[in-house]
Amino acid sequence: MLPLTGITVVALEHAVAAPFATRQLADLGARVIKIERPGGGDFARRYDESIKGQSSYFVWLNRSKESVTLDVKSEPGRAILHELVGRADVLVQNLGPGAAARLGLSPEAVLARDPSKIVVGITGWGGDGPWAHRKAYDLLVQCETGLVSLTGSPDEPARVGISVADIAAGMYAFSAVLAALYRRRLTGEGAALEISLLDALGEWMGQPAHYTEGTGTQQPRAGARHATIAPYGPYTTRDGRTILISIQNEPEWTRFCADFLAQPDLATDPRFATNPLRVANRDALEEIVAARFAELDASEATSLLDQAGIANAGVNTVADFLDHPVLRARDRWREVATPNGPIRALLPPITFAGLEPRMDPIPAVGEHTAAVLAELGRTPEEIADLARRKVI
């Protein structure tokens, strides 16, 4: 039995943050009933058509869920929605500001009807405060938290290449639900939980925030190099490959100088004897390290680094990652069904010894509507009537 078997989640969700949270719950065995708009469904279904004509975002975020189409603005649709929430353990929503309250599903309203419910709202800028009613998208939050100002080359800032604010909020929503379920088991009490993209990514900005507050200066953009540790970055080998190395402490630095650079005296050079000195004299250090890499083929460089116990990695493309030997050797890929045929997907990162993770299909729009309504006691005639009236 998976850990969340028996838990039912109703998800009023779209895009990335909430679907990411509820997919983690589904991975662990929860039943996730995803409410979608009749017709097109979650607009993330149309972000792209890259994977067998389907959105890469949607197939990543929505496996193992049941899709129910419902016009929640209509009176019968809202009544069905309230029935579903009434039977669920958890309600997760990332609707626009105020939308859940207008549906009668504010945390206060839901908990007044059933104090054991767990109600999760994912917002952009927080449910209160001066920006409560502003829209928020991932890149906007990357900008407002200062993340974009840290990422990129010295000449140009850049966004992080994945939806990092959405993912951060989704992960905090996932862990908050687990904590609330545990507390409910002990006390019987439900919970009203809120996670904002700003707060979630703000937490991840903790180190540069402390650095800036402590020094009065923001750490510089350094491309693929670490802004405050050296040497920590990519170098090109004689055969044109790129290898990234990371020196984390003085014993590693000493071994790196002796065993890789073949310059043991460099470890105590007054310019490089500590990490702050190495950062301050980065240009001179980079010249020495780059020259050594340029003398070696990638295989030679990797062998020397491994022998010296220096952390290193190839700077891969996404295609390289898809064929990564570690994923293949550890059997981390599974086949997942989609409306347009099977695709590969990685196993969830949480591994329970002795349990095979849940990797059920990605649903078509409204695929489970009739079955779920039948569970609520609707007859085939009533379901057909709801379809004719475009409630479902």
Q: What are the two backbone dihedrals, phi and then psi, of residue 121, each rounded to the nearest 5 degrees? A: -115, 125
136-144, Cβ contacts within 8 angstroms, sequence gap of 24 or more: 136/196, 136/197, 136/198, 138/16, 138/163, 138/164, 138/165, 138/166, 138/197, 139/165, 141/165, 141/197, 141/198, 141/201, 142/201, 144/198
- Dist. CA 89–CA 188, nearest whole Å: 12
Sheet with 242-246: list strands edge to edge.
Answer: 232-236, 242-246, 311-314
Instruction: Give me the residue label for tokens 């009749």.
Output: 38
Active site residues: 226
Q: Are 231 and 278 in contact (CB under 8 A)?
A: yes
Give the residues across from 311 on adjacent strands.
246
